[in-house]
Chains A and B, each alone.
Chain A
Amino acid sequence: MKVRRMLGALGVATVLAPLLFPLYWMVMSSFTQEARLFAAPALVPDALVLDHYRALFGGRDFWTPIRNSLIVAGATTGLSVGLGALCAYALARLQFRGKTVMLAFVLAVSMFPQISIVSPLYLLLRELRMINTYPGLVLPYLTFAMPLTIWLLVGFFRQLPAELEEAAAMDGAGRLRSLREIVLPLAWPGLATTAILTFLYCWNEFLFALSFTLGPERYTVPVAIALFRGQYQVPWGQILAAAVVATAPVAAIVLVAQRRIVAGLTAGAVKG
């Protein structure tokens, strides 16, 4: 029994070590002096230095990309969950012709390669004078966020018991009223999961943000980090500190909502 338990612990360790070591190294290095980053790195640091974080928020104004990312990801999530919930409810619960075709359409769009629509979106946004604006990112983000939310929510709505709605219909409640008063309150875990996943995809998105922003005042977090270059050398300490800052909210979400995320990933087909 003891041997089994030790084997189990060994198993956990072999799974965890390669998954967590790069993250551990990122966090440790972000607290290490620049001069020591590549000289005699130790597994356990002897002193934690906050220099890189001070430079990040003092000298570089890393708050701006954080604010941009929050605004764009928040607006995209709100818009796509709002529109997506209505659409998904109809696809999951109402009987009408064209439903299957609509679902296939949504699935097909979710497989579109982002790079294929960069050029027309760029020309369109330029025409509308929306390059380097928040709406100029939210609109392109809908291309992946809408199919994602619809797909996930159809799955969640289908899991709700139909009897409650039937009972409400008996009592004379219309479809819209039962949607508002019965389905949505019951479906909130599904809505929350969908919102979390959509937010994660938006927070991490890189190609559109790189294509449709022009300057640091509109860069999102991934773009700001990727375009981080020192004048003469790569400022690794600051890059890693920024990486830690970009990872922190994601890590918090995963810690709090891991069960929901797994349910979302496995319930609907989600692209990586």
Chain B
Amino acid sequence: MRNEARLGWALTLPALAAIAMVAVFPIFWTAWESLHFHDLRMPWLGRPFVGMANYVEAVSSERFWGAMAHTAVFTAATVTLELAGGLVLALIVDRFSRGRDLVRTAVLLPWAIPTVVVALVWRFLFESPAGIVNGVLLRLGMSPPTWFADATAVWVPLILADVWKMTPFVAVLLLAGLQNIDRSLYEAARIDGAGWGRQLTDITLPLLRPALLVAFIFRSLDAFRVFDVIYVMTGGGPGTATEPIALLTFSSLLQNLRFGFGAALSVIVFVVSFIFAAACIRVLGRDALMERVP
């Protein structure tokens, strides 16, 4: 047994050390950095300790709260649509026996292609004045907005692109949950005269709850740190109308080179994600996530 423990540590150590070096150590570094003034454009000023000044600057700036609000809007909209869409998609796909491979490929493709490509393709579809979406809307007698110059309308292509890419992922997770449900339950329900709606609300949804919750957690955490799709499609614009917190952090760091301030924003993103994940695990019970190690 001793030997086994020693072997266990020997086998796990290289991987865990790598993770500690590239992920855990940097988090502490970020926290330390966030308490300092550090501007790479002004190296002669050094790196003096400034306490909470970077955090104070962040929470007293309108741009920060704007970015938080944009992130919240994006997260709420995409997670809701993706869970609802994923459920519908999973229920439909679950019915098929024919063409299942074709459907599965089609469902996986949007998820598997680079987000950068998704963002560009949806920008192309919505491009004003003559993209295909506008062409169709004009033909239907509507007057489409100039999508990417309109601070409200710009959310439509952004959210649609993310929903198009990630709904299939949710569907795949839910489909696995659906296929674990004992079919005889539906037989019994049918014999008892329960219709399709009753079967959905009384059997499918309750039994799918764990899968739905896991999909909810992963999608929310992911949407909260959204970067790629917005950076590529709108650059946070028009102005800063769609700038999410991750993009504000990125530009503070690598465009303005304000590393102390950017680190403070990084810590805020980390802490919010951490609290959300901890709260979910609290509600779910720890095992729901750990159980997913099959």
Contacts and interface: CB of A to CB of B under 8 A. Distances in A.
Nearest to B28: A120
B249 interface: yes
B169 A272 contact: yes
Interface residue SS majority, chain B = helix
B7 A94 contact: yes
A114 B247 CA distance: 12
A75 interface: no
B164 A12 contact: no
A11 interface: yes
Given A120-B30, A262-B104, A272-B218, A222 B116 contact: yes
Contacts of A96: 4-5, 8-9
A143 B16 contact: no
Interface string B101-112: 111111111111
Given A95-B4, A103-B293, A158-B293, A142 B109 contact: no
B1 A118 contact: no
Best-surrounded residue of A29, A98, A115, A119 (most CB of chain B within 10 A): A119
A123 B109 contact: no
A113 B14 contact: no
A236 interface: yes
B125 A109 contact: no
A115 B250 contact: yes
Interface of B: 1, 4-5, 7-9, 11-12, 14-16, 18-19, 22-27, 29-30, 33, 89, 92-93, 95-96, 98-99, 101-117, 119-122, 124-125, 127, 130-132, 135, 164, 166, 168-169, 172-173, 175-176, 214, 218-219, 221-222, 224-225, 227-228, 231-232, 246, 249-250, 253-254, 259, 262-263, 266-267, 269-270, 273, 277, 289-290, 292-294
- Closest CB pairs A-B (n = 4): A87-B15, A120-B29, A266-B176, A38-B130
Interface of A: 8, 11-12, 14-16, 18-20, 22-23, 25-26, 29, 38-39, 41, 83-84, 86-87, 89-91, 94-100, 102-107, 109, 111-124, 139-140, 142-143, 146-147, 150-151, 154-155, 158-159, 175-176, 200, 203-204, 206-207, 210-211, 221-223, 225-226, 236, 239-240, 243, 246-247, 250-251, 253-255, 258-259, 261-262, 265-272
